[in-house]
Chain A
């Protein structure tokens, strides 16, 4: 082994942190796909939008946590409006039209962000400063906090889905939207609600990611691509699978960047995708293939 152990361990931590953020993004995407068969091409751009709204809010209020909340709420409302205007009319049509429609939305969002906020990246300030000793590095506490926070949000989502009336509505609609409707569940609104939740989670990821990598209008494409890969590898519609896949892929990329440049490390996730599609197309982390 040519690589020192402590580098590997540091990359493990990095992989976990990135994995949790990616999991937050991917869980929204897989939830949306699972319930309404929509592949949301614009999902990464919702992350970007959240990041910008967060940046603007921080500039106005100086408080990171307020910014996180505001970004999630604003983008949730925007997501709901988007779903109602562009996706509802497409329900029941060829699923490829939703890819095209969300692609159009993605384009508009990117250019809009460019117009409103310019081409340069915004760096969000870390809400928790301070570092601790992790082997040979001074590791920022914020990164750890991010992972924990993302995990908490995902955990919250999980609880929401497992208990409570609306959680049952969502799970029933995901399994059989026709029967759910016949039971009095207002399916069109459940769809809108889930989209809004997914959008809120994406926005939160954007704000959390802000201090780590900055917010630019092109970051959306990158997140969308990665989230897609995670969702396919984890099993489309499978929440637990996407979370595991997000961590798995992020760890792979983190380790890969020890030997190649980060720009090339991303090929690792592409390879994971292709292997999954070839050998286990329903998802690597799905317990029993359907």
Chain B
């Protein structure tokens, strides 16, 4: 459904991605592992049009989306949950959700259903729906960021380090959320430092090093033999 072919991306003059190729099938959970700075976040940004590739192609459902502006991608069904969450701090929780909820073709009934579904998954957001986004705790902000992405009813979510800075208890909550999304048929491209979590929730895993994909395997295989992971991540 989503595929990157030989993508090269620069940040200014720095050549970050040196020809990244990977794929995510519909409904799949794909993990992207690697040390800090290898270009995992940049890969997500290259898909989302935030760091447009200078070479290579990104296709989504057969359509070339290379370098398209982010708002087009959101409308096509690609949602991005960034590493630092990027909650609209001065907007209320409800207003944060509305940035995704208020879309063309969403009548009141559909909106209400979507909102209820998300509040059921994240009850704390219902409680805090009129509070400013900036007053939420780190874990709550992460919930909000994911809930906000869900408002787009996406076909794939680009999830960047969701457990970063969260307490261990919340990590298992993230695992439950990813599982829930997977059950609903949403594909996920997951960038993570937490290897254990990634191994648990993913179907397949790519390992990146220095701006390229070095290794690819089914998660099951890697769960059984973690030597490769130790090799690349030194964990």
Contact call A182/B80, Cβ cutoff below 8 A: yes
**How distant is A164 from chain B, measured CB to nearest CB, in Å?**
9
Closest to B134 in A: A175
Tell me which residues across on chain B come within 8 A of A165, comparing CB atoms: 98, 102
Tell me which residues across on chain A come within 8 A of B95, comparing CB atoms: 168, 171-172
Most B C-beta atoms less than 10 A away, residue of A175, A182, A186? A182
Tell me which residues across on chain A come within 8 A of B80, comparing CB atoms: 182
Interface flag for B69 (CB, 8 Å): yes
Contact call B100/A184, Cβ cutoff below 8 A: yes
Contact call A168/B98, Cβ cutoff below 8 A: yes
Contact call A184/B74, Cβ cutoff below 8 A: yes
Q: Which residues of B from 72 to 96 have beta carbons under 8 Å from A?
A: 73-75, 79-80, 82, 86, 88-91, 95
Tell me which residues across on chain B come within 8 A of A175, comparing CB atoms: 88-91
Contact of B152 among A169, A172, A184, A187 (CB under 8 A): A184
Tell me which residues across on chain A come within 8 A of B98, comparing CB atoms: 165, 168
Known A-B contacts A168-B99, A176-B86; A181 and B70 likewise in contact (beta carbons under 8 Å): yes
Closest to A190 in B: B71
Closest to A186 in B: B71
**How distant is B111 from chain A, measured CB to nearest CB, in Å?**
11
Tell me which residues across on chain B come within 8 A of A168, comparing CB atoms: 91, 95, 98-99, 102
Contact call B86/A184, Cβ cutoff below 8 A: no
Q: A43 vs B48: C-alpha distance in the bound complex, in angstroms?
A: 35
Tell me which residues across on chain A come within 8 A of B112, comparing CB atoms: none
Tell me which residues across on chain A come within 8 A of B103, comparing CB atoms: 184
Contact call A182/B74, Cβ cutoff below 8 A: yes
Q: A184 vs B103: C-alpha distance in the bound complex, in angstroms?
A: 8
Contact call B71/A181, Cβ cutoff below 8 A: yes
Interface flag for B40 (CB, 8 Å): no
Q: A186 vs B79: C-alpha distance in the bound complex, in angstroms?
A: 15
Q: A178 vs B95: C-alpha distance in the bound complex, in angstroms?
A: 17
Interface flag for A258 (CB, 8 Å): no
Interface flag for A159 (CB, 8 Å): no
Q: A278 vs B90: C-alpha distance in the bound complex, in angstroms?
A: 28
**How distant is A180 from chain B, measured CB to nearest CB, in Å?**
7
Tell me which residues across on chain A come within 8 A of B89, comparing CB atoms: 175
Tell me which residues across on chain A come within 8 A of B102, comparing CB atoms: 165, 168
Tell me which residues across on chain A come within 8 A of B75, comparing CB atoms: 184
Q: A176 vs B96: C-alpha distance in the bound complex, in angstroms?
A: 12
Interface flag for B8 (CB, 8 Å): no
Contact call A178/B90, Cβ cutoff below 8 A: no
Tell me which residues across on chain B come within 8 A of A108, comparing CB atoms: none
Q: A182 vs B77: C-alpha distance in the bound complex, in angstroms?
A: 11
Q: Which residues of B from 130 to 171 have beta carbons under 8 Å from A?
A: 148, 151-152
Interface flag for A179 (CB, 8 Å): yes
Tell me which residues across on chain B come within 8 A of A185, comparing CB atoms: 71, 99
Tell me which residues across on chain B come within 8 A of A187, comparing CB atoms: 69, 71
Known A-B contacts A165-B98, A165-B102; A183 and B148 likewise in contact (beta carbons under 8 Å): yes
Known A-B contacts A178-B50, A183-B152, A184-B152; A172 and B99 likewise in contact (beta carbons under 8 Å): yes
Tell me which residues across on chain B come within 8 A of A184, comparing CB atoms: 71, 74-75, 99-100, 103, 152
Contact call A183/B100, Cβ cutoff below 8 A: yes
Tell me which residues across on chain B come within 8 A of A171, comparing CB atoms: 88, 90-91, 95
Contact mask for chain A residues 155-173; partner B; CB cutoff 8 A; 1 contact, 0 none = 0000000000100110110
Tell me which residues across on chain B come within 8 A of A182, comparing CB atoms: 48, 50, 70-71, 73-74, 79-80, 82
**How distant is A186 from chain B, measured CB to nearest CB, in Å?**
5
Q: A179 vs B100: C-alpha distance in the bound complex, in angstroms?
A: 11
Q: A77 vs B82: C-alpha distance in the bound complex, in angstroms?
A: 36
Closest to B96 in A: A172
Q: A225 vs B201: C-alpha distance in the bound complex, in angstroms?
A: 59
Known A-B contacts A168-B98, A181-B69; A176 and B88 likewise in contact (beta carbons under 8 Å): yes
Q: Which residues of A from 171 to 220 have beta carbons under 8 Å from B?
A: 171-172, 175-176, 178-188
**How distant is B209 from chain A, measured CB to nearest CB, in Å?**
27
Q: A171 vs B100: C-alpha distance in the bound complex, in angstroms?
A: 14
Contact call A178/B70, Cβ cutoff below 8 A: yes
Tell me which residues across on chain B come within 8 A of A176, comparing CB atoms: 86, 88
Closest to B76 in A: A184
Tell me which residues across on chain B come within 8 A of A172, comparing CB atoms: 88, 91, 95, 99
Q: A172 vs B89: C-alpha distance in the bound complex, in angstroms?
A: 9
- B residues bordering A, Cβ < 8 Å? 48, 50, 69-71, 73-75, 79-80, 82, 86, 88-91, 95, 98-100, 102-103, 148, 151-152
9 residue pairs A–B, Cβ–Cβ below 8 Å:
A169-B99, A171-B95, A172-B88, A175-B89, A178-B86, A179-B82, A182-B74, A182-B82, A183-B100
- A residues bordering B, Cβ < 8 Å? 165, 168-169, 171-172, 175-176, 178-188
